[in-house]
Amino acid sequence: MAPENAPVNPSCGPSSGLSSGPSADRPVAVRRPAGRARAACLAAPLLLGLAGCAVFGAPDEPRGNRAEPELLREITPGVSSRADVTAVLGSPSATSTFDAAEWYYISSTTHIRPGRVPGVENQRVVVVRFDEAGIVRGIEERGERDMRNVAVVDRTTPVPGNERTLLQALFGNIGRFGPGGAQPTAGPGVGPTSAQ
């Protein structure tokens, strides 16, 4: 038992429902599940939403003209012609730049990622080479390991002229046009005016 002059905690009194020690005349503390239930009710939609992102994600989208391996087996080097390749694989995605001796069948699989560029995977290029007579000389498959990263240059080509400020761009035409229409200005394409 606590001494009579001990400080009293008002939150532990008989009306609060909490007990400071084992006693038959005081009620026993009961934890209310309302706080946990409320937190669970608030967390359930969030968890279901996150689970839906993983389960109901965007489907993978095939891109390009995919030359499947079983279709490539139908093309025989030294025997198949351009017409045979077109009948089996379809039109090529691209042809070589300087001659029509190589056909490229380019394909990949993409998936949408919210807030970012689409994710690309399974990139594949099938190269079909022809001889001068239009007969298949060889077939080569290239994947992601054969690709090279190309560095993009951020430079811009300088343009002759002056750099205009925001105020010049907004108010630049004030006073340039008179009541008779546009005033010719010096510059490319403007010749001397003749008096009539």
Tell me the residue range of the domain where 115 lies.
61-144
Residue 68 has pLDDT above 90, yes or no: no
Q: Are 62 and 109 in contact (CB under 8 A)?
A: yes
Mean pLDDT, to the nearest integer, of 29-45? 68
In a domain? residue 139: yes
Nearest alpha carbon to residue 123 among 136, 135, 109? 109
Residue 127 has pLDDT above 90, yes or no: yes
In a domain? residue 95: yes
Contacts of 80 (CB under 8 A, 6+ apart): 88, 135, 136
Q: What is the CATH number of the domain that holds 66?
A: 3.30.1450
Residue, of 170 and 24, whose pLDDT is higher = 170
Burial 161-188 (b: 16+ CB within 10 A, else e): eeeeeeeeeeeeeeeeeeeeeeeeeeee
Q: Are 134 and 141 in contact (CB under 8 A)?
A: no
Task: Give residue 60's identity as a one-letter amino acid code.
Answer: D
Q: Which residue has the tokens 């025997």?
A: 79
In a domain? residue 186: no
Q: Are 100 and 59 in contact (CB under 8 A)?
A: no
155-195: per-residue pLDDT in tens?
Answer: 888 777 777 788 877 887 776 666 655 555 555 555 555 55
Mean pLDDT, to the nearest integer, of 81-106? 90
Residue 15 has pLDDT above 60, yes or no: no
In a domain? residue 194: no
pLDDT > 90 in the chain, percent: 21
111-120: per-residue pLDDT in tens?
Answer: 777 777 777 7
- Distance, CA of 187 to chain centre: 45
How many domains does the chain fold into?
A: 1
Rounded Cα distance between 106 and 93, Å, is 6
The pLDDT confidence band at residue 16, using thresholds 50, 70 and 90, is very low
Mean pLDDT, to the nearest integer, of 101-120? 82
Residue 59 has pLDDT above 70, yes or no: yes
Average pLDDT, rounded, for the chain: 74
The predicted structure's pLDDT at residue 13: 47
Q: Which two tokens stand for residue 17?
A: 């429902």
In a domain? residue 77: yes
